[in-house]
Amino acid sequence: MQINKQNIIFISGTDTNVGKTYITGLIAQQLQSKKCSTITQKWVQSGSTDYDDINEHLKLQNKPFSEIAPFINAVCPYLFKFPASPHLAAQVENKEVSVQKCLTATHILSNKADFLLIEGSGGLMVPLNTQETTADCLEKTKFPTILVVKNGLGCINHALLSIEALKHRQVPLVGLIFTQANPDENELVIQDNPKIVAKLAGLNTVATLSYNPNQEEITSQLASIIKKIIDIKG
């Protein structure tokens, strides 16, 4: 099975609850504004009896669920009720996540739109099953990856370790997107984090979103990321 990597972007994070779902939906929204058709995918959704993250992606794109309903099993191959990492959420239901099944679904979806955005579960080292982490899968597929970082005290270490993990596995890093979940974070820390991480990691594609950003800020901040995504496809 040959997957066209040029139109696939993987969105990972430095942790869980860093804003990956929100960012995935926003990137899809921005690509659509450039007349690029987009589908989002979530290999494993846990802590839900519905397709919560996929529904959030659709909401941000102003798309109805009916648009992806015919191939929802490819859009979200695994849906587990227990809120945990994929390997444990699956074990609770006496199941196991098959990376091959996820990649087969990715192959199917990659032919349905200009771009396929895959939202990962948690961070890079989260186990998909008892043998493979997300990072292991990315090492094999080399999907260009965007790293979402929750901007705040302590994120420098998290970001640089995640970047190091991607570099070690020779996974292309499209860029970083810093999100602010807490409006009360120290302003000096918030402003410096993206700068020092970009400098130490040698990156020039870094976006920073404030707490509850407006549409103008979203478009402006994500512009360099969107351009790089489109350039990858050629």
pLDDT, tens digit (0-9, with 9 covering 90-100), for 96-105: 999 999 999 9
Q: Give the pLDDT of residue 26.
A: 97
Residue 42 is a catalytic residue: yes
pLDDT over threshold 70, residue 184: yes
CATH number of domain containing 22 = 3.40.50.300
pLDDT over threshold 70, residue 2: no
CB 158 within 8 A of CB 12: no
Supply the pTM of this predicted model: 0.96
Catalytic residue among 42, 167, 228, 233: 42
- Total of domains in the chain: 1
Give 164's contacts (C-beta < 8 A, 6+ positions apart): none
pLDDT, mean over the chain: 96
DSSP string, 24-60: HHHHHHHHHHTT--EEEEESEE-S-SS-HHHHHHHHH
pLDDT, tens digit (0-9, with 9 covering 90-100), for 51-68: 999 999 999 999 999 999
- For residue 14, the enclosing domain spans 5-233
- Residue 18 has what DSSP assignment? S
CB 88 within 8 A of CB 82: yes
Q: Give the pLDDT of residue 152.
A: 95
**Cα–Cα dist 193/125, whole Å:** 22
